[in-house]
């Protein structure tokens, strides 16, 4: 799998990307506030503050990956780590529009795959995506996910979803 292009390599070399992994660790209030704002600005189906609060309170179950460039939050991904099923559920991934199409989401996924593969006995990653979100579907296909079924009206009346899965290479 090769996500890189010369142009995006040159762009990214101007930024030192910092990946912040949070699993079983406290997400401090200030940090959480930034993530909630990011979610509301850039994710198609954002959560309420209380939804996010529930996540951080069950901290052993969730894995939040944040990416910073020049100390600015530019991307997030959130996984629900379902140990009973050996499955990580990708709940959210988003990149600041100013930084899109520069392989940031691809790098977030690579970083997450390596973290999940190293630290947990997870065999697969599962996700749902709106069928009309062609950009996200392309990203997931490029990262090794395959569609497994269609979820009728999953995102509301007439808005179908796709369930996708990627098996971890062990």
Ligand X SMILES: CC(C)(COP(=O)(O)OP(=O)(O)OC[C@H]1O[C@@H](n2cnc3c(N)ncnc32)[C@H](O)[C@@H]1OP(=O)(O)O)[C@@H](O)C(=O)NCCC(=O)NCCS
Q: Binding segment for ligand X among 18-26, 102-110, 147-155, 162-170 (CB under 6 A)?
A: 102-110
The residues facing 163 across adjacent strands are 128, 149
Token duo for residue 84: 């009973």
Residue 12: CB partners within 8 Å, gap ≥ 6?
Answer: 102, 103, 104
Among 94, 116, 162, 164, binds ligand X (CB under 6 A): 94
- Residue number, 45 or 84, with CB nearest to ligand X: 45
35 binds ligand X, rule: CB under 6 A: no
Among 27, 76, 139, 162, binds ligand X (CB under 6 A): 139
Least Å distance, CB 108 to ligand X, is 8
93 binds ligand X, rule: CB under 6 A: yes
Q: Outline where DSSP puts E strands in the chain.
A: 17-23, 62-69, 72-82, 87-95, 124-130, 146-151, 161-167
Among 138, 149, 152, 159, binds ligand X (CB under 6 A): 138
101 binds ligand X, rule: CB under 6 A: yes
- Residue number, 102 or 166, with CB nearest to ligand X: 102
Residue 71: CB partners within 8 Å, gap ≥ 6?
Answer: none
Could you give the CA distance from residue 154 to residue 58 in angstroms, rounded to a whole number?
25
A 10 A CB-CB count for 49 gives 12
Least Å distance, CB 47 to ligand X, is 13
Give the residues lining the site for ligand X (CB under 6 A). 3, 42-44, 93-95, 100-106, 129, 133, 135-136, 138-139, 142
């Amino acid at each position: 799998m090769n996500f890189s292009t010369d142009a995006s390599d040159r762009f990214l070399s101007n930024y030192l990307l910092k990946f912040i992994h949070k699993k079983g660790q406290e997400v401090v209030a200030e940090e959480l506030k930034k993530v909630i704002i990011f979610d509301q600005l850039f994710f198609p189906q954002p959560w309420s503050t209380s939804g996010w609060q529930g996540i951080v309170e069950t901290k052993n179950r969730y894995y939040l990956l944040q990416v910073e460039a020049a100390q600015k939050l530019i991307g997030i991904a959130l996984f629900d780590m379902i140990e009973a099923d050996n499955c990580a559920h990708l709940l959210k991934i988003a990149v600041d529009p100013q930084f899109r199409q520069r392989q940031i989401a691809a790098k977030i996924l690579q970083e997450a795959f390596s973290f999940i593969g190293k630290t947990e006995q997870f065999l697969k990653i599962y996700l749902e995506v709106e069928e009309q979100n062609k950009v996200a579907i392309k990203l997931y296909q490029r990262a090794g996910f395959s569609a497994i079924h269609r979820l009728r009206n999953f995102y509301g009346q007439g808005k179908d979803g796709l369930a996708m899965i990627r098996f971890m290479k062990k």
